[in-house]
Chain A
Amino acid sequence: MTCMVTPSPAPVGKRTDLPRLRVIKKQAFAAATKLCISLFVMLALAFIANSAIAQAIDPLPFRDHAEELRFQHLTSELRCLVCQDENLADSNADFARDLRHKVFELMQQGKDDAQIKQYLVDRYSDFVLYDPPVNHRTWLLWFGPLLILIAGGIVVVNTIRKRSRTAAPIASAPTDNGDDW
């Protein structure tokens, strides 16, 4: 933002009103300067407040942007166990912050995503994952919808067959004579 207030040279034409004009100009100049300063202060305050809030949420010293993206992706796939409808990345709970810091710590130790997930699963069970693995306890969750779809499909096919069997003689008799024209 540019905020330049410079007193322009007094106009040359009207010499009679010069002192009054100078007073008005001085006042306008002072008012504009005040406005500029207060705007600047407000902007500065807003900036400071903003960065303070961002730091309060997560003051984690990432090495680079890629690491931060990886952290955000990983924590968005993990469930906060206190507030179970939120993921770790979004949750403001104290516990979620602790686990975020743990995830960050494990990242710094060079653990890959699978190892970090396994670390949390060892302590908090598969429940901590938003993407549950396929095993004997989750097969119904994974394939249940498919089973329901197949069952529904069988019902639909049966119904259509039954209807076409009963409707076919009535429908085909008058139309199949080939003399429609």
Chain B
Amino acid sequence: MSRLLPFFAFVLLAALLGFGIWWNSAHDPTAVPSPLINKPAPAFALPMLDEPAKTVSKDSMLGKPYLVNVFASWCVACGEEHPVLMAESKNFGVPVIGYDYKDDPNDAKAWLAQHGNPYDMVIADINGHTAIDFGVYGAPETFLIDGKGVIRYKRIGPLTPEVIAQQLKPAIEKLQKEAP
């Protein structure tokens, strides 16, 4: 028995290594869990990209669920996500707000003109101050906010067809069942 002890110790360590590899391939080790889920979204009031005189605020969006998709023209991963949004954004059943993060408005407009605009409206956070309240630390990020202004789901990183089918759409459907 005691002769087998080193062997068992080795198997244990190998199993631990295997678990670590599996865990890190199944999870994004750099993703930071958002403490804001199921908490009220921060109050925000940001100008629209196309009409800076008009602002969109949290209060003006209350009443129905909506998605906020943080993007920027300088963001490479947003370019990867963009075709997915172009294909899917009209099928979500909720308005999709583009949140232009720390971007030159002209760059953002050119980017949307070139790649297409999947958003129902686009708001611009040029200095990124409001984004700190949202816990944004990169782009793309996507928030699902319900009619009461509570954040119900957050995706850090690009939306993919898998993420949309497995996480985002079920979350939206759940919301729509809650509030008829």
Contacts and interface: CB of A to CB of B under 8 A. Distances in A.
A147 B135 CA distance: 35
A62 B129 CA distance: 21
Interface stretch (B32-40, B92-100, B113-121, B165-173): B32-40
Interface in A129-148: none
Nearest to A84: B30
B102 A82 contact: no
A95 B137 contact: yes
Given A98-B132, A99-B132, A124 B137 contact: yes
Nearest to B32: A127
A180 interface: no
Task: From A82, A127, A128, name the one whose CB has the most chain B CB atoms within 10 angstroms.
Answer: A127
Contacts, number: 37
Interface string B112-143: 00000000000000001100111101100000
A111 B30 CA distance: 29
Contacts of B134: 123
Given A81-B137, A95-B138, A123 B32 contact: no
A125 B33 CA distance: 7
25 contacts: A81-B32, A81-B137, A81-B138, A82-B137, A82-B138, A84-B30, A94-B102, A95-B128, A95-B137, A95-B138, A98-B128, A98-B129, A102-B132, A122-B35, A122-B36, A123-B35, A123-B132, A123-B133, A124-B32, A124-B35, A125-B32, A125-B33, A125-B35, A127-B32, A127-B33
Interface of A: 81-82, 84, 94-95, 98-99, 102, 121-125, 127-128
Interface of B: 30, 32-36, 102, 128-129, 132-135, 137-138
